[in-house]
Structure formats: C-alpha cells, structure tokens
C-alpha cells in the first residue's frame, strides 16, 4: 500500500506545536521578531503564516523558512547591520567544533562572513556564499571553509496548510492539538536540490581551486534524498585526512524532554560525510549508462505520419 503523504505544522514563529502551552496566532503584517535572526519575520511582513518547519509523517522535520536553519542575512529591512542571535552563534559554533575537530573552540576563535560575493567574470551575475568561516585558534589545523546552508524548501499543496492555519487562528481558543494535525501536503526534496545544485557546483569549484573546503549543512530529509544518489559511489572517508567536502546532516535533537520554544537541532555526526569534492562532483555528473533504445521505436513525423525505427 502506498504511503499517504502528509505534513503537520511543527513550528509556528519559533514555537513548537507538540507541547501543551498553546500558541497565540499573530496578525498579518505585524512587526514580530524572528526567533532565529536579529530582524522581523519575513513571512509575517508578507502576510504569510510564520511556519518555520513542518513534520513529515515519518517524524522528520522539514524546514520551510530560509532563515530557520541559520540565516545569513546581514541587515534588517531598513538596511541597518544586524548581528548574530544566540541560535546562530550556537549552531555555527557546534559546526565549527565538529568540522575543525576541536571541542575547545570558543566564539572568539571562529570568524564568519555572511553572503559573500563570489564573482564569475564570464557570467552575467555573481553567486553569494551563505557563510565563509575561518578558524583563528592557535591550534588550528583546518581553516578556510565555505559553509552553505539548505534546511529544506517548499511543500506541495501549500494552500491546504494555509487554510488549516487560518481555521486554527479563527478558533475562539486556538489549540496546538488542532494546529499540529496532519494535512494532505508533501515536501519537495527534488526542487530543493535542483535549486541548490548549480550553486553548489559553481561555488564549490571556486573554493576547491582556491584551496579551501566546502561544507554543505542540510536538513535530514534533504540529506536522505542526496544519500540515496551517492550511497553506491564508494566515496573515500577522509574524515581524518585531507577532506575537501563535508556533507553535514542537521536533525531534530530529541535527546531531552520537549519544552516550549523552538525545536532543538543537532548535527548527525555519525552520518556526516567527509570526502573529496572533485570525486563527489564527478559521480554526480557521470550517472547513467548508454541507452540506444531511447532512439528506437515509434516516432511521429511532423506531418503526423507514424513510423517505426
């Protein structure tokens, strides 16, 4: 029997829905602060429901807001420079400690630049890296990192999710139990990877030629989608050697009791992949085998006559 695809709202404006304290709906276009960056919520300002993430029916979290995992925004809507909030500081430090293999790193050891321009003279536009990270500790063995973040992406049937949230918000006493009910929508991992793929290849190539390393931090469902395509690639494990690419799955941290607030996240260290960037790219671009059958069979001529070859 086929699995019925469905999702439920997992986080609403940074508040998890699977707790007892009921969430208060926000009014559209309110200047409410985003819990994950130092500026107002983009979705609310666009009269959209502030859904940060949804839960798939397999229990995994799919991030639906570009700022939920680790926003790279550098200014607010008035172009005023913004800093890093606690969520960003903690996640970036945990990533730095893991990829630099140094549990003693402090915030003062790690430097970042956000939305860094990567010029492409032969193209009509430039690319932007989410983060460029440097290790300024005295014991650094690894330093220059380009860090790309892709928590998730869009869902299908977003109208069903929106109507469900509207019905919840219009209740006399909105309850989390209603908000977290599953609706007939689905995550679209294919689109998320397609949008990221070109940038990943181009930016990664620039960094590889420059002598740096690329770290691709992704939500667990997107990682699972990618892993199905590379599990037979026999990529060398270079975790303790000269790796140039790291695939970093980010998942829900369910190691402690649920409490009000955002869903805690963690790196799945066991499933992280440290390998060679060039080998990984060759595998991505060299899939499939010769298939002469596609050029044989029934063809329709432009005059609508049908022939067989």
Predicted confidence band of residue 230 (pLDDT cuts 50, 70, 90): confident
* 245, 177 Cβ separation under 8 angstroms: no
Q: Which residues contact 125 (CB under 8 A, 6 or more apart)?
A: none
Mean pLDDT (whole number) for 182-203: 88
What does the block give as tokens for 222?
């997107």
- The per-residue pLDDT for 150 is 94
Res 140: pLDDT: 82
Residue 276 confidence class, pLDDT cut points 50, 70, 90: very high
Q: Do 67 and 13 meet the contact criterion of CB atoms below 8 Å apart?
A: no
pLDDT over threshold 70, residue 1: no
Residue-level pLDDT at 31: 85
Q: Which of 241, 296, 249 is nearest to 271 (CA)?
A: 249
Q: Which two tokens stand for residue 261?
A: 């607030």
For residue 6, give both structure tokens: 């469905």
Lowest mean pLDDT among 56-70, 80-94, 124-138, 240-254: 124-138
Q: Rounded to an integer, what distance in angstroms lies between the CA atom of residue 87 and that of residue 133?
A: 17
Six-digit token string for 208: 């590889």
Tokens of 152: 């998730």
pLDDT reported for residue 4: 59
Q: Do residues 77 and 45 make contact, with C-beta atoms less than 8 angstroms apart?
A: yes
CB 151 within 8 A of CB 69: yes
Which of 99-108, 194-203, 287-296 is predicted most confidently? 99-108
- Name, of 26-40, 134-148, 248-262, the range with top average pLDDT: 248-262
Average pLDDT over residues 68-96: 96
Closest CA to 263 of 252, 276, 278, 274: 252
pLDDT at position 2 is 42
Q: Distance from first CA to last CA of the chain, Å, rounded?
A: 39
Average pLDDT over residues 177-190: 94
- Supply the DSSP string of the chain, one letter for each residue: -PPPP-EEEEEETTEESSSSSPPPPPPTT--PBPTTSSSB-HHHHTT---EEEEEETTS-EEE-STTTTT----B-TTS-B----HHHHHHHHHHHHHHTT-TT--GGGEEEEEEEEE--TTSSS-EEEEEEEEE-STT-S---EEEEEE-B--EE-HHHHHHHHHHHHTSSS--HHHHT--BS-EE-HHHHHHHHHHHHHHHHHHHHHHT-EEEEEEEHHHHHHHHHHHTTS-----TTTT--EEEEEEEE--SS---SSSPPEEE-TTT-EEE-HHHHHHHHHS-----GGGGSSEEE-TTS-EEE-
């Amino acid at each position: 029997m086929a699995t019925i695809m469905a999702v439920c709202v997992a986080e609403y404006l940074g508040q998890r829905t699977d707790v007892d304290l009921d969430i208060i709906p926000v009014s559209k276009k309110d200047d409410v602060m985003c819990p994950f960056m130092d500026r107002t919520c983009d979705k609310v300002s666009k009269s959209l429901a502030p859904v940060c993430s949804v839960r798939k029916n397999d229990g995994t979290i799919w991030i639906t807001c570009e700022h939920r995992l680790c926003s790279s925004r550098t200014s607010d809507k008035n172009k005023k420079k913004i800093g890093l909030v606690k969520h960003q500081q903690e996640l970036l430090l945990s990533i730095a400690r893991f990829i630099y293999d140094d549990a003693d790193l402090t915030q003062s050891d790690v430097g970042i630049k956000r939305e860094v321009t990567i010029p492409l003279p032969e193209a009509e536009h430039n690319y932007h890296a989410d983060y460029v990270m440097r290790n300024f500790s005295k014991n650094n063995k690894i330093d220059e990192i380009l860090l790309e973040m892709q928590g998730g992406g869009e869902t299908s049937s977003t109208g069903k999710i929106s109507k469900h949230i509207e019905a919840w918000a219009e209740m006399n006493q909105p309850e989390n139990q209603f908000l977290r009910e599953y609706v007939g929508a689905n995550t679209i991992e294919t689109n998320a990877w397609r949008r990221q793929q070109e940038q990943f290849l181009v930016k990664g190539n620039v960094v590889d030629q420059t002598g740096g390393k690329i770290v691709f931090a992704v939500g667990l469902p997107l990682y699972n989608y990618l892993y199905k395509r590379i599990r037979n690639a026999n990529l060398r494990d270079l975790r303790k050697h000269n790796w140039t690419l790291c695939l970093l799955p980010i998942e829900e941290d369910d190691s402690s009791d649920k409490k009000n607030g955002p869903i805690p996240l963690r790196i799945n260290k066991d499933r992280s992949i440290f390998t060679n960037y060039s080998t990984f790219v060759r595998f991505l671009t060299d899939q499939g085998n010769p298939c002469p059958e596609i050029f044989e069979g029934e063809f329709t001529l432009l005059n609508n006559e049908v022939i067989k070859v």
